[in-house]
Structure 1
Amino acid sequence: MISAAPKGRPAGHETAFFSQPMVVVALATLCCLLWGSSYPAIKTGYALLGITQQDIPSKLVYAGYRFLLAGLAVAAAAWLLQRRLTVPPAAQLRQVMLLGLFQTSLQYVFFYIGLAHTTGVRASILNATTTFFSVLLAHFLYRDDRLSARKGFACLLGLAGVLAVNADAGLLGAGASLQGEGFIVLAAFVLSAAAIYGKRVSQQMDAMAMTAWQLAIGGLVLLAAGHGAGGSLGRLELASSLLLAYLALLSAVAFTLWSLLLKHNPVGLVSMFAFLVPLFGAILSALWLDEDILRWNNLAALVLVCGGVVLVTRGARPAAAPRCKPAPG
């Protein structure tokens, strides 16, 4: 059955389950672990498929298939959990299309290109600036979410982390680049802006349906752009096919679980776990890709960024915090 979004309060047993402290900790940590694993997984996919740093069209095709599959998987999850899939009316469909264009298509153009030009450790740390961009944007967009001394200090910690991770090369010196670290930060900014818009859209329709549509639409745009520019994945082998399926499923699972946690808990409580994404991303990149995480600047950046995320999300107001994933992986 395809129908309009369900109305009314969520079922009591569902709320009771997803509000249990141990469930919140376990599922939020799982989401952050999945998002953190995307950094080394994407870079491994580049290697398996022979996608070079300069082959931007093939990167777009790679991302397009991932998010189209992820959207279909979220739609399947919505069907299994709710026995329905919302088809938004024309006005909302235009909003979802705009959200997919920016939150999925544009953001991941920057993210996939940037990740090819930097390490997984650096990317996972720099992408955590999404949280700080959200705080700064909320200051100008929400009257009840102005920049406080605590939030200002947290943003300064985040900035210090960005400077620390590039301390061995200058902000964009010999060891850093606009296409690498610069694009990762641009992806974080696009995500934070799109997520605030997505919060407004989600208030008018079912969050899972919105996620499914925007992922699928964004994936289709990436596919069209990539194939139109001559991109291709070539011949998919078993390993690369399984990795692509994993990337699609991790997005679908993490999006769905995070949305359910946000639905049944204060946003500030759930968002506090966002500091685990750069932590998991850096550790898994070090283990999976044999990258150096033990450099003083990487460790200092991790401490500064994670501390800033915890500080800025502590006691966050549910009404103002954007209901978004903490990272684009």
Structure 2
Amino acid sequence: MKLTIERIVTRPLGIMAVAGGATFLWGSAFPVIKLSYAELGIEKAHLYEQILFAGYRFTLAALLILFIMKLMGRSVAYQSGTWRGVGRIGLFQTLLQYVFFYYGLSGSTGMQGSIIAGTTSFFQIVIAHYMYANDRLNSRKLLGLIVGFAGVVVVGMAKGAVDVRFGWAEICLLLAMFFGGLGNVLSKKEAERMDILYMTAYQMLLGGVVLIAIGAAGAGLMPFAFTWNALGMLFYLAVLSALGFVMWNTVMKYNQVGRISMYLFLIPVFGVFLSAWLLSEPLQLSVWLALGLVVGGIVIVNGRRVRKAGASGG
């Protein structure tokens, strides 16, 4: 039987490979961004420069997708009637998510940032509960969320002492995660009538250009002295953004939001493992516990699906 994209990403192993691959790519962004900032001299307080760099990243990612579409012989021209859907996704999934994320992160601790980042799964599942009649929140999903989020908390606590303060920075991080979750759910809805490559490219292009405009307003259009290392890291960040969003939007299109959202808990876990490798940061045993909890949450939420697939012969 011929395998199609839909058949691949609706099977348990296919979901694991595609959703897990996307979160692995996004997790790798944390150490690479840190290395990029060090190479370009971007400090934590340089908010406009951080937003500008993000604008470069997403604009380049969009252009890469459009280039791939052209190589595939597919039209990259604007498709009539799609501006509203693309605009909404670009507004929430790229622009608002990252403006609030960078502002919040600049005034919060890394530990709090990693824990709050885990709330994206909560927001996605709650939003899907109200948008899709067949994707309601139930006790199994709730238990899986609690177990998975416990893993994210363990990751955060492994980075340092717990800081219980909660101010504007933390509110902005929560808003960033809400906008990201909303953008992901909207992308699933719009993917029903739009090509995923087209949708992903144009929403990132729109969001990226506006991020550049915001960053340039405070830091200038080109304040960086790019080295070959910095250019290489920017290119890698653009590739992971393009590939990660295409993979994520594809697996979201063909599956229930509640089942796929759990994989987002892997992002901070992958980030810690890759930081230990790339930045020579210490890797504590508690991170393995965190990974176990996150995987446990994914299994709890998707257990019924796996059993059904096994009963039907895979």
Q: Aligning the two structures, in what range does the TM-score lie when normalised by the shorter sequence?
A: 0.7 to 0.9
CA separation in 2, counterparts of 1:266 and 1:44?
35
> Does 2:222 align with 1:222?
no
Change (3 A) 1:223 1:251: same
Per-residue deviation at 1:63? 0.3
Classify the secondary structure of the residue corresponding to 1:43.
Answer: helix
Report percent identity of matched pairs: 37
CA separation in 1, counterparts of 2:73 and 2:118?
32
Change (3 A) 1:35 1:60: same
Per-residue deviation at 1:223? 0.4
Q: Which residue of 2 aligns with 1:137?
A: 127
8 Å CA contact retained: 2:115, 2:156: no
CA separation in 2, counterparts of 1:45 and 1:118?
19
CA separation in 2, counterparts of 1:271 and 1:107?
17
Q: Which residue of 2 aligns with 1:321?
A: none
CA separation in 1, counterparts of 2:239 and 2:295?
26
> Quick one: which amino acid aligns to residue 252 of structure 1?
A
Q: TM-score, normalised by structure 1?
A: 0.76
Change (3 A) 1:186 1:195: same
Q: Which residue of 2 aligns with 1:39?
A: 30
Per-residue deviation at 1:126? 4.3
CA separation in 2, counterparts of 1:289 and 1:126?
23
Change (3 A) 1:64 1:75: same
CA separation in 2, counterparts of 1:50 and 1:182?
27
Q: Which residue of 2 aligns with 1:50?
A: 41
Per-residue deviation at 1:135? 1.3
Q: How far does the alpha carbon of each residue in 1:127-168 deviate from its partner, in whole angstroms, 9 at most, with x for none?
A: 233222211222233333222111121232345445545556
Structure 1 residue ranges without an equivalent (≥5): 1-11, 317-329
CA separation in 1, counterparts of 2:20 and 2:142?
26
Summarize the alignment of residues 1-329 of structure 1 with structure 2, pairs less than 5 Å apart: 14-15=4-5, 18=8, 26-81=17-72, 83-85=74-76, 87-89=78-80, 91-115=81-105, 117-119=108-110, 123=113, 126-161=116-151, 163-165=153-155, 169-170=161-162, 172-173=164-165, 179=169, 183-231=172-220, 232-260=222-250, 266=255, 274-294=264-284, 296=286, 300-315=289-304
Deviates more, 1:216-225 or 1:92-101: 92-101
CA separation in 2, counterparts of 1:300 and 1:177?
29
Classify the secondary structure of the residue corresponding to 1:277.
Answer: helix
Change (3 A) 1:206 1:95: same
8 Å CA contact retained: 1:124, 1:282: no
> Quick one: which amino acid aligns to residue 205 of structure 1?
M
Per-residue deviation at 1:213? 0.3
Change (3 A) 1:31 1:141: closer
Structure 2 residue ranges without an equivalent (≥5): 306-314
Change (3 A) 1:106 1:59: same
Q: TM-score, normalised by structure 2?
A: 0.79
Change (3 A) 1:111 1:43: farther
> Quick one: which amino acid aligns to residue 22 of structure 2?
C
8 Å CA contact retained: 2:101, 2:176: yes
Change (3 A) 1:45 1:85: same
Per-residue deviation at 1:244? 0.6
CA separation in 1, counterparts of 2:293 and 2:6?
35
Indicate the RMSD between aligned Cα atoms, in angstroms. 3.3
CA separation in 2, counterparts of 1:159 and 1:254?
22
Count how many residue pairs are aligned between Structure 1 and Structure 2. Answer: 298
CA separation in 1, counterparts of 2:127 and 2:181?
8
8 Å CA contact retained: 2:121, 2:265: no
